[in-house]
Structure 1
Amino acid sequence: MVTKVKAVGPLEKGGKLEVHEIERREPGEDDVAIEITHCGICHSDLHTAHGDWGATKDMYPMVTGHEIVGIVKQVGKSVTKFKAGDRVGVGCMVDSCRDCASCRSGDEQYCDSGFTATYGSKRRYKSDFVGKYTNGGYSTDIVVDQDFVLNVPDNMELAEAAPLLCAGITTYSPLVHFNLRANQRLAVAGLGGLGHMAVKFGLAMGAHVTVLSRGTAKKEDALKMGAHDYIDVKDAAAVKAAANSFDLLVDTIAAQHDVMSYLGMVKPSGTMVLLGVPPAPYQVAAGSLVMSRKSLAGCLIGGVRETQEMLDFCVRHDIHCDIEMTTVDKLSEAWERTKKGDVRFRFVLDMDSLRTA
């Protein structure tokens, strides 16, 4: 059996955002049925819907959204982790093979067979919907296996929790994995949805934090957040003065940019971590790595266990995502502003506006 629920998204590649109905499966014995209250808007939503990373006709109508929070409506008979009324979240994944070394170690995001993304991904594992594309959180309801559902702490606002499930974990994971320590120098390239969370996590971990951004428009925001320094990367003298300065640099920029200029600011034996995925390959000079033992790395999201750890870390350190609330009737405008980087610092969609649309 299936249930039809309201959703919003493009009906075809390049199409406008429209309210329509999609099918959700009836909860199986391991499933959690969730009434979605809020969903964050990630730049990946735009890329996927627009087909920037490749899209086939059968992926549409498409429903994006992988920063999902809500209230449990119903659980399957074998569910032990949740009950009706719980505050929960769903991030970028809804399944994986669960058998490979990555899955067994809690790194489902690096599943050997590929994880099942919350939207735009063909279901390959247990489900009546195997072979069909997943639909994300721009909808009133969703059904997810309990192993990919997270507890949202009671003292965390649901709307503020939503972006943590992508923007939060995407920046928390590399800081933990690459062992950021107190008093080390951290640089954050880009001060958007991801960047501002990296600043907050870095400060909570005791690092000296510098924001790298084009121009000075975001300098006041960066310093208000607690960043110790700010560098306008258009200022060649400032960039030169920062050469070999940072133990760790996290690059959150999704647009095409000169990676080498940022890598030059990393200390010998330091690490630069790429989080954004621009459309074209980077040009990197091997000598810049070889001659100073620098590392150029990449990092995706975290696994389910690490994402829960991140949520709990936010509560302990009183870390919040800075959000702008929006509604379905203003979703197209929010997407356009997200594309331009004109948001402080993450849009969150109020799903009640979809229920009444």
Structure 2
Amino acid sequence: MADNVHFTAIHFPKLLLFNPLGFFSFKSPKLFPVSHARIRLKSTPSSFMASQLQVSESATTEEFDHSSARTIGEHDLLIVGPGVLGRLVAEKWRQEHPGCQIFGQTVTTNHHDELIKLGIDPSLKWTEASHKFPYVIFCAPPYQSEDYPGDLRRAALSCDREGSFLFTSSSAPYDCNDNGECNEDSPVVPIGRSPRTDVLLKAENVVLEFGGCVLRLSALYKDGKGAHAYWLEKGVVDARPDHILNFIHYEDAASLSIAILKKKLKGRIFLGCDNHPLSRQEVMDLVNQSGKFGKKFEKFTSSDGPLGKRLNNSKTRQEIGWEPKYSSFAYFLENL
């Protein structure tokens, strides 16, 4: 390797290392801060490891694109927004596809070390890379974005034409607030009525235009996270107790997402829920009766506000061939 390396402009450390994640690192990092150098690879006929390296000053880390040398395999996965749900998707995907590469696109570098430990290769710019991915799932929430539909458009463009693209949306757009019945084909809130549903529906439309699929998820939860945990911590909540909620465990949302991705369907909308809707009061009664928590929920104090909806995703289950591990919130509590 050293026979074909030329150094200019700076004093270079004695040993250059190339690790499996595609980053360059140096034995003496203090002598060579990466934030002040641009590295360009020019392959030679001999081998990639005998590439010619040219180093120049006055460049930024934004110009250091470790993704350019990637070879994408047939089972590799890009996760845009690898949070709680995205990480579970990664874990289950790797179990089904040992040896695959899993990439994660984030808004900041704050959790990159955690993602690397989980076997997820993180970046701020995966969807701007020149290569395409066979599987792409978008799990990032809208509140972190200044242009949510634009983010979905870029993610869709990162999926190859024959690949599978899935957006995990919310069940909020269904136009029901009287605790009525609702399924995959129920009407949605018209654009212009609600800023919250507008951003989701516009994002969904981008996905569908690109031939991607949408998975509208009900309230996500797991041990220590979800509506029940929040209300339990507060003790007294200013909300009406008869509002109907629908749930899906994070693990089930991940398994359903994977099942849809593997189908490689185009332009479809699916629904994720456990088919056991509960009122807020029923949820917290189950929590109190379970004896699994160190404190008790006290009460809901309001009688005003909209009601909810009773979701049923039997159509999704039949078409995808999927059933949840946690068949209901009550079953989850029993198995804590």
Specify which structure has the bigger relative contact order, considering alpha-carbon pairs within 8 angstroms and separated by 6 or more residues: 1
TM-score in terms of structure 2 length: 0.33
Query: Of Structure 1 and Structure 2, which has the larger fraction of its residues in helix?
Result: 2
Q: Which has the higher strand share?
A: 1
Greater Rg by CA: 2
TM-score, normalised with respect to structure 1 = 0.31
